[in-house]
Amino acid sequence: MKTSRILVTGSAGRLGRAAVKELVARGHTVLGYDLRSTPGLPAAQSVIGSLQNGELLNRTAVGVDAIIHLAATPDDARFPRGPAPDDGDNFLSELVPNNIVGGYHVLEAARKNGVNRVILASTGQVVDGYLDEGKTPVMADWPTHPRYLYASTKVFLEALGSAYAHAHGMTVLAVRLGWCPRDAGQFAQIAADPDAQDVFLSPGDAGRFFACAVEAAELPAFTPMFVTSLPMGKMLYDLTAAKELVGFAPTDSWPTGAEDF
Ligand SMILES: NC(=O)c1ccc[n+]([C@@H]2O[C@H](COP(=O)([O-])OP(=O)(O)OC[C@H]3O[C@@H](n4cnc5c(N)ncnc54)[C@H](O)[C@@H]3O)[C@@H](O)[C@H]2O)c1
């Protein structure tokens, strides 16, 4: 297998560390990009910077074969909102600068450096409305039906990826990731909810998916797809695109690796 030079944004986070670990194990050269240093990478390959620093992102993307874009504010501050005065949100303070402006800078860095493959971290929350309505399994080509503000920023990121793929000849995957708990509170939420266990994503499966996504030979210009571990009960998302296009099939199920925060 040909090895590649891969830029991973959000490389110090829950899924970023999983991606870095698997890519390094497979012999790829990984550059991390995060607000903090990336475990598992030498300092020279762990760039500390913000998504909002487009110039640094451009310099970091020189000579890379693929970008895995994971850095983001990964949820709403509150959902549902409480009554006033506890009815604030993180839209203007975090979601817009990190998820919308940041996504633009990442795709610009790819365009300016001729990076042909970009894997964007979206979320199952972009179709959460169908789960509420019991319309499952959700197919990847259905219109989005976002849960709230965070999911809406990911709908925008998917749209931006589609636009860049078609305008600039890139291959873009918008990966609607399942739920990999970031802390003990989220672990307890999934443990108490069988539906959440059906969309669990283990760090091991996440890492293997990202490696398959950069190694897959031929891909269409733009593809949205769902990625979870093996459902325990119901199939809530259609997982065939990841298998047929990227060659990824999950091997874990809840709770493998879930507490490995
Ligand atoms: N974990 C999940 O269950 C899950 C589910 C669906 C989608 N996602 C998406 O996957 C991605 C990774 O999620 P995660 O769970 O690993 O989150 P995380 O919070 O553990 O990691 C995110 C990383 O991004 C970095 N970051 C945030 N803002 C940044 C900025 N402006 N510049 C540079 N780095 C910045 C943070 O320092 C952090 O290390 C996110 O895009 C998230 O929306 C996660």
d(CA 234, CA 116): 36
- Determine the distance separating the centroid of ligand 1 and the alpha carbon of 99, expressed in angstroms: 10
Of 31, 65, 63, which is closest to residue 48 (Cα–Cα)?
31
Q: Is the CB of 70 under 6 A from ligand 1?
A: yes
Q: Is the CB of 203 under 6 A from ligand 1?
A: no
d(CA 103, CA 107): 6
What pLDDT digit, counting tens, does each position of 37-82 carry?
A: 999 999 999 999 999 999 999 999 999 999 999 999 999 999 999 9
d(CA 140, CA 176): 9
H helical segments located in the chain: 14-25, 54-60, 102-113, 128-132, 149-168, 184-191, 194-198, 203-215, 240-241
> CB neighbours of 100 closer than 8 A, spacing ≥ 6?
153, 156, 157
Q: Is the CB of 234 under 6 A from ligand 1?
A: no
Mutate to test the pocket of ligand 1, among 31, 76, 104, 123 (most ligand atoms within 8 A of CB): 123
102-113 and 149-168 helices cross at what angle (nearest 10)?
20
Is the model's pTM score more than 0.85?
yes
Task: State which amino acid sits at residue 96.
Answer: V
What pLDDT digit, counting tens, does each position of 117-143 carry?
A: 999 999 999 999 999 999 999 999 999
**Residues belonging to the chain:** 261
Which backbone phi and psi does 122 adopt, to 5 degrees?
-100, -160
What pLDDT digit, counting tens, does each position of 209-238 carry?
A: 999 999 999 999 999 999 999 999 999 999
Burial of residue 24 (CB within 10 Å: 0-12, 13-18, 19+) is: middle
Mutate to test the pocket of ligand 1, among 7, 8, 14 (most ligand atoms within 8 A of CB): 14
